[in-house]
């Protein structure tokens, strides 16, 4: 007979009227993607009690779960690009560089650094905890209590029980405008879908041979024989992180509906497309990919589903002309990257000195007083949004949302001192460091 001590147990019972756990915060951020992380860190840096909520199981949203592989929209265009986004980016890039998980690569007339998601997610976790932010994972926003234009509290469902979350200022960084929509503010949806992508990584390929492949020749081949492999999308690319034996593939297109069953089916469809892409690479480019296999499938990547109606809707002509509004809060040079057709992507690239801007009005839901949206759910037409929803501008929007709510305090974010806000965001509007 063993004398190993068996741990003790106790009997518990769920009370029928169990009250939700109540949490009080100054700033509540819904969505822990890159824009929510930026908003939370910025608000914590201002001394606020911050609660960061996400339905997913880890921090970082698409920046860590979707296997994006590259940082877009962090640099200007031209032969000698400068960085256009600062704040948390300084520490994030420094950490990734120290860990050998950052590779500055030229592309699309700018720099598009490669990064490794596993290193990024650890930096995010450490930065969030070091800043004293309370992160709630697996916590889904279910309901919003609103008093006129002010959000008063949120109801969250978590696997461990319900939470009531009260705050003074709120950031909707949910990507799908979940907070603004549930609060009853007007939102937009595209009439025809903007396609998402199931990203994945491969291993077992010959890196040197893969580097020899001409990207445009691969695209041409996709157009010619993609149908034989059952491929929906006939463009896209494979990019290898040098020396890691791993490459990221962006070659699928799937609709991303706003319902849980549709999401599950779309994710399975994206993974099936990914398998067919591997067959195409093996079959058409055996010297590089004969032994390639999927290393990891990402979570289905969602580009544009539902977004707020703000005080201003960013228009594609403002983007093309690089018009700087009086309430500009960030600059960016990323092209129009519109995924509005299954078969390909519409790109519109900009010249060397081009910059376009996001106004604060595009981030504040019409009628809201203590709510600011950040990230891919701000207001714009689908083409304009496609040029400002990559991660660089998302980080800058998060910072702007936190600063705007800090200035508004108990007042309305509709009536803040713009000069004071822009002075705080000067780096993201003016600084020009070369990395």
Ligand X SMILES: Cc1cc2nc3c(=O)[nH]c(=O)nc-3n(C[C@H](O)[C@H](O)[C@H](O)COP(=O)(O)OP(=O)(O)OC[C@H]3O[C@@H](n4cnc5c(N)ncnc54)[C@H](O)[C@@H]3O)c2cc1C
Using CB under 6 A, list all residues that contact ligand X. Answer: 30-36, 53-56, 61-63, 66, 68-73, 140-141, 173-176, 178, 196-197, 199, 301-303, 375-376, 389-391, 394
Task: For ligand X, give the closer residue by CB, 199 or 336.
Answer: 199
- Quick one: 34 or 416, whose CB is closer to ligand X? 34
* Shortest distance (Å) from residue 202 CB to ligand X: 16
Spatial contact of 67 and 200, defined as CB atoms under 8 Å apart:
yes
Report the DSSP pairing between strands 50-54 and 27-30. Answer: parallel
Please, which residue, 31 or 311, has the CB nearer to ligand X?
31
**Residue 23 CB, nearest approach to ligand X (Å):** 14
Structure tokens at 313: 């809707």
Rounded-to-integer distance, Cα 422 and Cα 358, Å = 12
Comparing CB distances to ligand X, the nearer of 42 and 54 is 54
HSE on the CB side for 264, CA within 13 Å? Answer: 2
CB closer to ligand X out of 197 and 313: 197
- What is the Cα–Cα distance from 388 to 329, expressed in whole angstroms? 12
At its nearest, how many Å lie between ligand X and the CB of residue 47?
23
Nearer to ligand X, 116 or 412 (CB): 116
CB of 273 to ligand X, least distance (A): 12
Element (H, E) at 117: helix 117-130
Q: How many CA atoms lie within 13 A of 232 on its CB side?
A: 21
Cβ burial of 322 (10 Å; 0-12, 13-18, 19+) is middle
Measured in degrees and rounded to the nearest 5, phi and psi for residue 196 equal: -95, 180
**Residue among 331 and 376 whose Cβ is closer to ligand X:** 376
Q: What are phi and psi of 314, to 5 degrees?
A: -60, 130
User: CB of 169: closest distance to ligand X in angstroms?
Assistant: 17
C-beta separation of 263 from 289 below 8 A: no
Question: Shortest approach of ligand X to residue 130 CB, angstroms?
Answer: 20
Q: Tell me if 353 sits within 8 A of 104, measured CB to CB.
A: no
Q: How far is the CB of 302 from ligand X (least distance, A)?
A: 5
């Amino acid at each position: 007979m063993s004398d190993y001590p068996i741990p003790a147990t106790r009997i518990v019972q769920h009370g029928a009227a169990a009250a939700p756990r109540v949490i009080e915060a100054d700033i509540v951020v819904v969505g822990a993607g890159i824009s929510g992380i930026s908003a939370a860190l910025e608000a914590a840096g201002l001394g606020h009690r911050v609660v960061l909520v996400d339905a997913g199981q880890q921090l970082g949203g698409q920046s860590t779960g979707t296997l994006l592989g590259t940082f877009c929209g962090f640099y200007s265009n031209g032969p000698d690009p400068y960085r256009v986004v600062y704040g948390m980016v300084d520490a994030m890039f420094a950490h990734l560089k120290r860990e050998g998980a950052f590779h500055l690569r030229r592309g699309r007339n700018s720099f598009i650094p490669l990064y490794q998601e596993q290193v990024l997610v650890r930096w995010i976790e450490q930065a969030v905890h070091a800043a004293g932010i309370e992160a709630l994972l697996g916590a889904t926003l279910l309901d919003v209590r609103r008093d006129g234009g002010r959000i008063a509290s949120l109801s969250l469902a978590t696997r461990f029980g319900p939470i009531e979350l009260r705050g003074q200022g709120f950031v909707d960084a949910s990507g799908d405008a979940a907070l603004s929509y549930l609060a009853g503010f007007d939102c937009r949806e595209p009439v025809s879908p903007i396609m998402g992508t199931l990203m994945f990584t491969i291993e077992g390929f010959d890196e040197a041979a893969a580097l020899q492949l001409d990207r445009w020749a691969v695209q041409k081949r996709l157009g010619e024989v993609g149908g034989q492999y059952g491929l929906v999308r006939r463009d896209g690319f494979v990019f290898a992180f040098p020396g890691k034996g791993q490459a990221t593939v962006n070659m699928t297109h799937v609709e991303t509906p706003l319902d849980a069953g549709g999401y599950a089916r779309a994710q399975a469809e994206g993974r099936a497309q990914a398998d067919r892409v591997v067959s195409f690479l093996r079959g058409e480019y055996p010297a590089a990919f004969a032994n390639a296999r999927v290393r990891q499938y990402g979570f289905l990547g969602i580009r544009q589903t539902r977004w707020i109606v703000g005080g201003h809707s960013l228009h594609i002509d403002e983007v093309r002309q690089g018009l700087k509004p009086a309430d500009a809060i960030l600059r960016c040079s990323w092209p129009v990257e519109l995924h509005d057709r299954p078969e390909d992507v519409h790109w519109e690239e900009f010249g060397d000195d081009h910059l376009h801007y996001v106004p604060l009005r595009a981030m504040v839901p019409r009628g809201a007083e203590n709510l600011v949206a950040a990230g891919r759910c701000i207001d714009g037409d689908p083409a304009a949004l496609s040029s400002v929803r990559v991660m660089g501008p998302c980080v800058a929007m998060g910072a702007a949302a936190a600063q705007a709510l800090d200035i508004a305090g108990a007042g309305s974010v509709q009536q803040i001192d713009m000069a004071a806000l822009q002075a705080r965001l000067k780096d993201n509007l003016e600084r020009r460091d070369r990395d």
